[in-house]
Amino acid sequence: MSEAVTPLNGARVNGLATIADAGLTGMITLRGDLSSAEVKAAVQKATGLDVPAQRQALSGQGAAALWMSPDELLLICDYDGVAETIATLEEALRGQHFLAVNVSDARTYLHVSGTGAREILAKLCPVDLSPEAFTPGMFRRTRMAQVPAAFWLDEAGTFHLICFRSVADYAFNLLKTAALPGGEVGVYG
Amino acid sequence: MLILTCPCCGVTGEETEFHQGGEAHLTRHGPGASDDEFHTYMFAKENPKGVHFERWRHNNGCGKWFHAARDTMTLEVYGTYPAQTLEPPQEIRDAITAKRPGWTWREFA
Ligand SMILES: [Zn+2]
């Protein structure tokens, strides 16, 4: 058995915001009819969470459910709990048209926190990140400089950001550069 | 800069979040088609100054395809609508008529 590591291997940097590798995290793509009672029951059973509404993120104890598209969720759980969570989904959705796949190692997962978090993301993404426009629980897939990325904001003001594993270095360096002291814009006060 | 609203996920985003996918409402002539039909499908594309219908994909977002009606001269977007339609819906045509009375595009008006 090989030792699983994240692409950034625990990298962390402090600047206008703190950018930190979130560590090994279980991620499951679930595709199916998100409005069906079966999918709702399966997600509830596997994660303890409801199916999130359009462009919303629901978080619970060690789990999150993220709205990726009209027929796709990304479920977050413990890295070691993925097989069990998928088994629960498959059992609950037996006979339904669905797909549940372990994509834990497909992406890199970062935490962006601190007072400059909104601003440094806004430097890189064409999204209105003002406190009035982007509120906790919102989930947004977008472009971060030259790569696709997605993020959601929790109640504590930390952004949870995912992008593909192959661009982990690029994404980390982008955020690091955007967070360099001296680069304050102050657009959000 | 175009501002498009994806009808699949509801995001209103700038052009760089999307990717243009060519002319809308094409009939894909394939095996069994006449040379003329295939030639028209393959090479004869609209290139209007004004009202235009295109396919777009929300490639840095939800990943879905959709249709957009826009003006190539002013970059005004008249509306976006689902990919699963064979012709522009009436409300899109009405929105265009309000701004460009008498418009035509291929077989549509
Ligand atoms: Zn979309």
Tokens of B5: 């609203």
What is the whole-number distance in angstroms between the Cα of residue A143 and the centre of ligand 1?
A: 12
Superfamily of domain A106-178 in the CATH hierarchy? Probable tRNA modification gtpase trme; domain 1 (3.30.1360.120)
* The pLDDT of residue B29 is above 70: yes
Q: Where are the domains of chain A?
A: 26-105, 106-178
* The pLDDT of residue A54 is above 90: yes
Between positions 70 and 109 of B, the ones with CB within 8 A of A are: none
Average pLDDT over residues B1-21: 96
Confidence of residue B1 (pLDDT cuts 50, 70, 90): confident
CA angle A160, A165, A171 (to 5 degrees): 60
Q: Where are the domains of chain B?
A: 3-99
Superfamily of domain A26-105 in the CATH hierarchy? Heterotetrameric sarcosine oxidase (3.30.70.1520)
Name the average pLDDT for chain A.
97
Average pLDDT over residues B24-41: 94
Select from A142, A144, A146 the residue whose CB has the most chain B CBs within 10 Å, as the one to mutate to test that interface.
A142
What's the CATH architecture for B3-99?
A: 2-Layer Sandwich (3.30)
Give Dmax over CA atoms of chain B in angstroms.
41
Tokens of A31: 């595709």
The C-alpha atoms of residue A31 and residue A52 are separated, in whole angstroms, by 13
B1, B12 contact by CB (below 8 A): no
Give tens-digit pLDDT for A140-172: 999 999 999 999 999 999 999 999 999 999 999
B58, B6 contact by CB (below 8 A): yes
Nearest to A79 by CA among A8, A3, A167: A3
